[in-house]
Amino acid sequence: MFDINIMATLLKVIESQEDKNAFCIAKKFYTYGQFAQCISKVRNELQTRAIESKNIGLIENDDLETYASIFALWLEGLAYVPISSDAPIDRNEDVIKQSNISVIIDSSESTKFSSYDLIESSKLTNLKLNLKTTIISEEDLVYILFTSGTTGRPKGVPISRSNLSAFVKSYEDLALNITNEDRCLQMFNLTFDLSVVSYLIPLLKGACVFTIPKNEIKYSYVYELLDEDDISVTMMVPSIIQYLRPYFDEMNFPKMKYSLFCGEALSLKLMEEWSECIPNASIINVYGPTEHTVFCTQYKYDSEKALNYNGSLSIGKQIGNSNLIIIDENGKLVPSGEKGELCLIGDQLMEGYWNNEKKSKEVFLNIEIDGVFHKAYRTGDLCFKDAQGFFFYSGRLDFQTKIQGFRVELSEIECHAKDYLDKINVVALAIENKLGNNEIGLVIESEETDTEDLFNYLKSKMPQYMIPTRLRFEPIFPLNINGKIDRKVLTALFLKNKENE
């Protein structure tokens, strides 16, 4: 079991194996001793500054200084707010303003943030070890991640030390045997919360973290690391594996121990094929929104009896003290087998969006369970639970649409299209036509080809109102910054031709 004090656990690891590798960044290894020195130099500099706000901007770069800055901030009881230098200036300025950031840490050779109180971490030279832990409140924040907002303005998700400690404790329920001999993949931008589990858990176990340089093609570099560096633990979004799918016949990674997936529905067929590439590994599907600290469920894939719905694997059962419930449109609990909105309860749950009381009120509700009221977070995910207590993801509530008065789940259309097209990826979208009515658009990730047989197959599986009336081919699906399929971009491709209807 992890020490509940995350920093105390990490410092024990550093003391016991300072000569072992902590990171491999751009093919260069860094030891835990070097990591400790880097943490110290950033912390030493922080202690010389008059810091007005506990929220510190951290420019996300793929280097040791950036990761060391996270832990230096935590030792000082401060929170990091990751800022992408590739994001639009207006968005970054909005994030900085919302977070009340006065100090920014940037390891870039040439910074874009010189107008702020700047710590250029790559230029610091004071290496005096400074790792002593201090007494810090469990309610202090560890990070604020800004996610897309429905109004177009990003909303901040503040995660406290107690939230993160609850997640680390919950992670133990996965019962993964990660040791200081493991090599672990960290493929995510720091603005995506899956980065947290990808760097934090390996470091707490004394393992080595392998990152991906910003200028590399992500899926290609992942393949290279798996092939050349004997990566044994991975956390990925399914879209990355979809890109690697054409090369499965050439892949064999017998040293892989654990292959975790999160962020999107996980295809059963895809995992049947992927499991052949990693013959000695456990495949685990996990689920959780940023608001509930990384993830809160697990489902271990079993090739003999894989639980799935519409071709997507179950998200499993809750871990830790998280409680998953499903409610109807009136906020009432639904019985097993009935679909509704998934809500989350437990110690991993944030208090509320950063300085956004209106949005917080929209997503939280008090639910009575066995005579006790609980604060619950509405995920917006359509799910159901079977009689054995396994949960299944059925799509986003906003992935539902009404066609001719009928409620349609776009994931069902995608399921049937994928069944026919086999290894080709597809996305179904709700497209508003010039009359203001919804139509179903289907995007196929391939060169243009004849689809008569596909549509005949769809007509044999679904009623006429569910058959797509719009069709596009895209050679490569666009991905958002988190590596997920960017449905907004695909929808825009349909809508830009709306005036020509």
Mean pLDDT of 140-163: 85
Average pLDDT taken over every residue of the chain: 91
pLDDT given at position 2 = 40
Mean pLDDT of 463-471: 87
pLDDT given at position 231 = 98
pLDDT given at position 15 = 93
pLDDT at 301 over 70: yes
Mean pLDDT of 312-334: 95
Report percent pLDDT > 90 for the chain.
71
pLDDT given at position 435 = 64
319 vs 369, which has greater pLDDT? 319
Mean pLDDT of 309-314: 93
Mean pLDDT of 395-400: 76
The Cα 396–Cα 379 span in angstroms is: 9
Q: Which of 122-126, 369-373, 463-467 is most confident?
A: 122-126
pLDDT bin (cut points 50, 70, 90) of residue 500 is very low
pLDDT in tens, 420-455: 998 899 999 988 777 667 889 999 999 999 999 999
The Cα 168–Cα 205 span in angstroms is: 12
CB atoms near residue 138 (< 10 Å): 13
C-beta separation of 232 from 256 below 8 A: yes
pLDDT bin (cut points 50, 70, 90) of residue 136 is confident
pLDDT at 91 over 90: no
pLDDT in tens, 176-227: 999 999 999 999 999 999 999 999 999 999 999 999 998 888 889 999 999 9
Among residues 147, 140, 159, the alpha carbon closest in space to that of 348 is found at 159
CA 473-474-479 angle, 5° bins: 140
Report percent pLDDT > 70 for the chain.
96
Helices marked H in 282-396 = 357-363
Name the residue with tokens 């909005």.
94
Q: Is 259 helix (H, G, I), strand (E, B) or coil?
A: strand
pLDDT given at position 402 = 66
H or E stretch at 21: strand 21-25
421 vs 462, which has greater pLDDT? 421
pLDDT given at position 397 = 82
Mean pLDDT of 391-405: 78
pLDDT in tens, 353-370: 999 999 999 999 999 888
Mean pLDDT of 243-270: 94
The Cα 229–Cα 474 span in angstroms is: 33
pLDDT bin (cut points 50, 70, 90) of residue 294 is very high
pLDDT at 3 over 50: no
pLDDT bin (cut points 50, 70, 90) of residue 404 is low
Mean pLDDT of 248-268: 95
pLDDT given at position 215 = 87
Mind spelling out the 3-state secondary structure of 433-450?
CCCCCEEEEEEECCCCCC
* Token output for 378: 């509405």
pLDDT given at position 283 = 98
Structural domains of the chain, with CATH: 6-161 (3.40.50.12780), 216-397 (3.40.50.12780), 404-500 (3.30.300.30)
Task: Name the phi and psi angles at 57, rounded to 5.
Answer: -70, 135
